[in-house]
Amino acid sequence: MSDKSTIKLNGREYDFAPGETVLDVAARHDIYIPTLCHDPRLDAVGACRTCLVEIDGWRRLAPACATQLEPGMEIASENERIDRHRQTLLSLYMTDHPTDPAAAEPGAPNELHAMASHYEAPMDWGYMESLRDARPDDRNPYVLFEPDLCILCARCTRYCDEIEGVNAITLAGRASETTISTVDKLSLMDTSCELCGGCIDVCPTGAMGKKMPLVRGDKPERELDKVRTTCNFCGVGCQLDLNVDRDARDGQGRIVKVTSPPVGTTTNDGNLCVKGRFAYDFVHHEDRITTPLIRGEDGELHPASWDEALQAAASGLLAVKDKHGKDSLGFVSSSRCTMEENFLVQKMSRAVFGTNNVHQCAAT
């Protein structure tokens, strides 16, 4: 035992802070240890068993995610025993999991598949039909649970409990029949679920999938462009990734879905709410106004060219100014629009029309 807070991992010495786990230190030094049930936001449960490592003096392999470091520990994350462990574990997983990646939700990459092929785990052990119950009658519009793909890592149920805090879903049943359920197998609509979709986001295999691909396209996620932007709902400023199908709408692009940026990289820490994750139907909605409109003599709105509309608007506003004075104009800017747009509106109000009558709905 050395007195300093150091450990050895694969023969090299590393410092660690009290409370840190094997996985923490490995991650900091880019040493890859596979995980399926781990999420830095959640308490470690060590249930998926992919992260087992060997610790000198310990008879049994230990989960890297849940094993707190003690000074002097000597740890191996790569050796023959661990190789065999990973391979046989992943082979076993695959007897309980569709081998065809296309069976997964269009989009979400299947971490189990990727891991099994990374470790070249034999896939010829056979296949057993899943005994996990689904909830086929769940009428909720977003979350589709496909039990065949579920590996019971419980990221979703733990997220629902520990982060979202609504406890709408739970591990239910036992043994091979263990599944993800709601109370009395009710629809999510009839539970405490707030439809945040966090379960979808944390699922490593796509068992918790989105119900919407038919509406918004079915390209797999890897063929979509991810555009990082800021949510347009409340004032938290969540970062989100618009997953855009560039070819859709004759090359104008379509938002297929929204995903969270990785945990730990943004203010929202990988979390989104129901609006941030799902409320995008409005963007491509048929009710959008698509041309400038001018109200005619008949009192109705008529489509117009940009030039016509700009001229009409300019002369209308200037006429009010000329007739009633500059302070007879009011400029209502918008806290929904960008900083730049607000800047230009106030500048227009002040510099072009000469009035400080500019404000927006800014009650806080």
Query: Interaction with another protein in 100-119: which residues (CB under 8 A)?
Result: none
In DSSP notation, 64-111 reads TTT-B--TT-EEESSSHHHHHHHHHHHHHHHTTS-S-GGGSPSSS--H
Compute the least distance from the CB of residue 222 to another protein, in Å. Answer: 17
- In sequence order, the β-bridge partners of residue 225 are 244
User: Is 312 a binder of another protein (CB under 8 A)?
Assistant: yes
Cβ 154 to another protein, closest distance in Å? Answer: 8
Closest CA to 164 of 135, 204, 199: 199
Kindly provide the b/e burial profile for residues 124-146, where b requires at least 16 CB atoms within 10 angstroms of the residue's own CB: eeeeeebebbbbeebebebbbbb
Q: Which of residues 115-144 bind another protein (CB under 8 A)?
A: 124-128, 139-142
Do the beta carbons of residue 94 and residue 123 sit within 8 Å? yes
φ/ψ of 291, rounded to 5, equals: -135, 155
Identify which of residues 32 and 343 has a Cβ nearer to another protein in the complex.
343
| Binding of another protein by 189 (CB under 8 A) | yes
| 21: DSSP letter | B
Q: Which two tokens stand for residue 324?
A: 């009633």
Task: Give me the least distance between CB of 294 and another protein, in Å please.
Answer: 6
Q: Which one-letter DSSP state was computed for residue 340?
A: H
- For 170-188, b where at least 16 C-beta lie within 10 A, e where not — what string? bebeeeeebbbbbeeeeeb
Using CB under 8 A as the binding rule, whether residue 18 contacts another protein is answered as: no
Instruction: Report the C-alpha gap between 67 and 247 in whole angstroms.
Output: 47
Interface with another protein (CB under 8 A), residue from 31, 76, 263, 329: 329
- Is 338 a binding residue for another protein by CB under 8 A? The answer is yes
The β-bridge partners of 302 are 294
- Applying CB under 8 A, which of residues 30, 102, 137, 285 lies at the interface with another protein? 285
Which one of the spans 8-16, 24-32, 92-100, 102-110 is the region binding another protein (CB under 8 A)? 92-100
Q: Choose which of 28, 71, 120, 316 interacts with another protein (CB under 8 A).
A: 316
Comparing CB distances to another protein, the nearer of 12 and 18 is 18
Under the binding rule (CB under 8 A), the answer on residue 47 touching another protein is yes
Question: What is the DSSP code (8-state) at residue 261?
Answer: P
DSSP helix/strand/coil, 134? coil
Residues forming a β-bridge with 145: 208
| 13 versus 337: smaller Cβ distance to another protein | 337
Binding part of the chain for another protein, among 9-17, 25-33, 98-106, 167-175 by CB under 8 A, reads: 167-175
Q: Which stretch binds another protein (CB under 8 A): 4-12, 23-31, 99-107, 273-281?
A: 273-281
Min dist. Cβ of residue 269 to another protein (A): 8
330 is an interface residue for another protein by CB under 8 A: yes
Cβ nearer to another protein, comparing 27 with 274 = 274
Query: At 307, which helix (H) or strand (E)?
Result: helix 306-324
Q: How far is the CB of 146 from another protein (least distance, A)?
A: 18
* Euclidean distance between CA atoms 63 and 67, whole angstroms: 6
Site string (193-232) toward another protein, x via CB under 8 A: xxxx----------------------------x-xxxxxx
User: Contact with another protein (CB under 8 A): which of 63, 204, 209, 217?
Assistant: 63
Sole window of 9-17, 23-31, 103-111, 239-247 interacting with another protein (rule: CB under 8 A):
239-247
